[in-house]
Chains A and B, each alone.
Chain A
Amino acid sequence: MKKILLFALLFLNANLYAKIHLAPLPMADSLETTKVFSSFAEYLSKSLDEKVSLSHFTEYEDILQALEKNELDLAYLGPLPFVSIHLKDKNIIPLVGFYEKNGNKGYHCVLTTSILEENEDFLGKKVGLTQPLSTCGYFMTKKLLEEFANISIEDMKYRYLHTHTQVAKSIVSGEIQYGGMKDSVAREYKNLGIKVLKTSKMLPSFMLVANTNKLTAQKLEKLKEILQNTPKEEFSKWGKKISYGMFEVKLEDLDFVLKELKEMKIPSKGNY
């Protein structure tokens, strides 16, 4: 009981006293994010014997800035945000990648619409994007639109809707006609008529990145060791997105994203 009390107190005051700050990517709302990452953070705290707290950001950009300012030790990022920050700070490195539900070491971005959209007319139509630095946002949706409909995203109305789920919901609600999101999210919303129009090539998985400016080599090693040896019965208890296991990520796996990013200028705001 004492332990539980202690834990409750630790949890409540975690932000004030945590030594390790972990920020998950805001792919869904803060509740969803908390649900996914709280058990993970608890596990790390317990294994490291050090407080690990969750820091919440609504914008990808804000997480990257926090990393840059060395306010964060760990972050859960998609390939694009990682590459963006890694280009700026080489000391931010991938630690482990997370397997997808289907066991893949990567995922796909998809161009989606609603099954209620009968006319696949793109010109001037509204397209929902996650965030500028989201892999499935402008970065991949632009590419998917070009591949599927041979249309430039700039010929459509696009806006950032922050999260993958919000993009899905907005399509379902009819607010927008098209949207780019992670394939797993599209599958989740299939029951609400989300229809995949185009699937990208496999992209490197979401990963846990470490800020080696803040974390010592010793701690980094310990973290790697903990994560790589985490038993299935433990990680299966974590939030859905990260509950299928982990693998080592190499920088070379991200070359494609790096190359594309260098050629692309991502607008920070939508055009409507």
Chain B
Amino acid sequence: MKREISLIIATFVCLLLIINTLVINFYKKQEKAFLKKEQEQINIVYNATSNTNQFSFKTVVEEKIAKKDVLEILQKANLADDLEKSKLRTLLYRKFYDFYNNSLKTSNVLQFQFHLKDGTSFLRFYEPSYSGDNLLQFRPTIKKANLEKKYASGFEQGHIAPGFRHVFPLSYENEHIGSVELSITFEGLEKSMRKLLSNVQLMLIMKKSITTDVVDKEHKARFSQAFISDEFVIENPRISRLNNQNFNSKPITEAIKILKKEPEQKNQIEQGLKQARVFSEILWGDEDAYAIHFLPIFDTSNKLAAYVLGFKKHSFIKDLKSQELTMQVFGIVGILILAFISYLLARNRKKTIAQKNELEVIANTIQSGLFVMDNKGKLVFTNEEACKILKYNKNDILNTIIHGKIHFHKDRNEECNIIKVAKTGITYTGEEVFIKKTGKMFPVHVSSGPLKEKDQITGSVTIFRDITKEKHAHEQVRRLAYYDSLTDLPNRKFFFDKLEQTIEDNKNSKIYRGILYIDLDDFKAINDTCGHQIGDKFLIQFATKISSNIRQEDIFARLGGDEFVVIINPLDLDLEIAKKIFKIIINKFYASLEEPFVLNNQKFYCKASMGGIIFQSSKAQSTELLRRADAVMYESKNMGKNTYNISIY
């Protein structure tokens, strides 16, 4: 039992682990799908917003910038000396001073910059005093706009700060004269993105390689270390309105707290950042769950430049987790209940097996055949004795419908008593004839009872015993009781039983019947002279002779010694005819005795005195009939022996 319990525990622990794994996997998938959906949303919104900027900037360039007076300034600047450049720069500055301050800046355009055709910065509106530096090698977008003369865009580093650049080539009178750049801050992007993303706090983290590593010294303070990774910086919250807000918003402050507590999770994030992939992370606070979505931003040379981070407090994820926990609890409780039931079942099974074994032992111990059939007649159990009696191999008959092969029915139309048990539920006990596999029929004593489950008959159990020997013994006893051991003729008791039965059976019959009392004449002399052995042989021969001459329906019995009796049944309705028949029979007997008996090479002649009584059953009484026949026989003896008389009763 201990082994079984251990096995059950091991099985259920495995089951528990499997269920647990399945539940976790299921909810992980749910969570993943949910996060992926949000990631995609952020990605779509980011791309849509970037594209919108591209179109609006293109309009700005076409409508506001690419004008003759502006282009002329830039064209001249390409050829001017420093002093002239200062004048041209001032003119350009004056042209767009209001536009930059009142329109572009308010639209979160950080940089509005003109470049000469060699890639030199001509005028930065963001920092007008800073110009003359060549950006061709440093800024791929400017290189593309000025060498390939094509619009270029992307997130890109800068001498002051990185930005989402849009650089448009400018030409005047079919001559390329430089480019103009409009860079939007992340704050600008975020403003547009926020309109489409509810409850998501957005933040930009930038690689050091495009910020603090490359901006001019005095601009380094624009950045501060990103809390999420050493490799990234954020715009200094003192400068950035967005980051200032972000660091006062719950998802981000909570995320910082959680990551501080969970260095492993932080490492995981750092690994994700290094791989430059889109991913999400769930942070579990004391009360709430927060999702951080990481969307990589690549620079124009397709190198990882920054990440847009989307922070969101998630009741859904928390709900999912609660559901997961609930499922796990249910799973555990369910498994425990199942385990307990299994334990009980195992215990019961063990009991049942023990009982079954006991039953089998009992069944195999009893000296009777036993078989159990279901209510369709299929053999579901049998014992060894049954197989032994029927000469069948157990495996050959189990689970087969064997009944037709083993049970002999005299009347094929009569319903089988054993099969009936499973239908009626009534126990049957009786003698039947079974057939062995060899085809030999033999008598059996059968006891068949129904099997019930909740008042429904499910089959029958039958115990049977081969009673061939019993029958034989019984027959022997019967013979001893009813037959004469010397002559093998029915004895006195048999005679009286038969006579009484004949009288009883024919009480209302008018048919005449006869009783013939036979007494051998001088038998005593044979006994005395030749010995009892010869005497006995004599009696046997006499019995044989008479027996061979009686009618099949008549009964010839020995009453004892040399006294015999014959019941002649029937004679006839007509008395005269009855007498005639009676006489014919008697004469036939006498005729059979005319031949001498040869005993020990000696011839003996048999003579007998006979007395017949003709009777009708309605009037007869057995002892009286015999007494009267005896009396008539004595009359014959008195008449000189070896003759007969008949009297009517």
Contact = CB atoms under 8 A, between A and B. Distances in A.
Contacts, number: 95
B239 interface: yes
A9 B259 CA distance: 13
Interface string A188-231: 11111100000000000000000000000000000000000000
A172 B87 contact: no
A5 B219 contact: no
A31 B225 contact: no
Q: Is the interface of A mostly helix, strand, loop or mixed?
A: helix
B83 interface: yes
B93 A173 contact: yes
Contacts of B340: none
B26 to A, nearest CB: 35
A114 B94 CA distance: 11
A8 B86 contact: no
Contacts of B238: 30, 34, 38, 54
Interface centre among B227, B237, B260 (most CB of A within 10 A): B227
A122 interface: no
Contacts of A35: 218-222, 239
A136 to B, nearest CB: 16
Nearest to A3: B225
A115 B87 contact: yes
B89 A193 contact: yes
B395 to A, nearest CB: 75
A36 interface: yes
A116 B91 contact: yes
Interface string A1-24: 100110111011000000000000
B225 to A, nearest CB: 5
Interface residues of A, number: 35
Interface stretch (B126-134, B468-476, B637-645): B126-134
B49 interface: no
Given A5-B260, A31-B239, A173-B97, A192 B90 contact: yes
B85 interface: yes
Contact of B87 (A39, A116, A168, A237): A116
Interface string A42-82: 00000000000010000000000000000000000000000
A124 interface: no
A143 to B, nearest CB: 25
Contacts of B256: 5, 8-9
B369 to A, nearest CB: 87
B127 to A, nearest CB: 9
Contacts of A172: 90, 93-94, 97, 128
B97 A115 contact: no
A172 B125 CA distance: 12
Which interface residue of A4, A169, A191 has the most chain B CB atoms within 10 A? A191
A189 B222 CA distance: 22
A106 interface: no
A51 B116 CA distance: 46
B604 interface: no
Given A4-B225, A9-B256, A189-B129, A173 B94 contact: yes
A4 B239 CA distance: 19
Given A31-B239, A192-B90, A7 B225 contact: yes
A192 B129 contact: yes
Given A35-B218, A39-B221, A189-B128, A12 B247 contact: yes
Given A12-B237, A34-B238, A189-B129, A115 B86 contact: yes
Nearest to B97: A173
B237 A116 contact: no
A174 interface: yes
Nearest to A237: B217
A239 interface: yes
A8 B260 CA distance: 12
B236 interface: yes
Contacts of B364: none
A240 interface: yes
A116 B88 CA distance: 9
A38 B236 contact: yes
Interface string B347-382: 000000000000000000000000000000000000
A36 B222 contact: no
A4 B128 contact: no
Contact of A191 (B89, B222, B260): B89
Contacts of A240: 217-218
B96 to A, nearest CB: 9
Contacts of A38: 221, 236, 238
B297 to A, nearest CB: 21
A91 to B, nearest CB: 29
Nearest to B94: A174
Interface string B209-222: 00000000111111
Given A1-B230, A38-B221, A114 B90 contact: yes
Contact of B90 (A5, A30, A115, A175): A115
B218 A5 contact: no
Nearest to A14: B238
B224 interface: yes
Nearest to B247: A12
B140 to A, nearest CB: 25
B86 A193 contact: yes
Nearest to A41: B221
Given A30-B239, A173-B97, A36 B128 contact: no
B92 to A, nearest CB: 10
A36 B221 contact: yes
Contacts of B226: 8
19 contacts: A4-B230, A8-B224, A8-B227, A9-B227, A11-B237, A31-B239, A36-B218, A39-B221, A116-B91, A169-B128, A172-B90, A172-B128, A191-B82, A191-B86, A191-B132, A192-B86, A192-B128, A193-B89, A240-B217
Given A38-B221, A54-B238, A172-B128, 13 more contacts: A4-B230, A5-B260, A34-B221, A36-B221, A39-B220, A114-B90, A168-B129, A172-B93, A191-B82, A191-B89, A191-B131, A192-B128, A239-B221
Q: Which 4 residue pairs of A and B lie closest in terms of their CB atoms, listed nearest first?
A: A193-B90, A173-B97, A35-B221, A188-B129
Interface of A: 1, 4-5, 7-9, 11-12, 30-31, 34-36, 38-39, 54, 114-116, 165, 168-169, 172-175, 188-193, 237, 239-240
Interface of B: 82-83, 85-87, 89-91, 93-94, 97, 123, 128-129, 131-132, 217-222, 224-227, 230, 236-239, 247, 256, 259-260, 263, 266
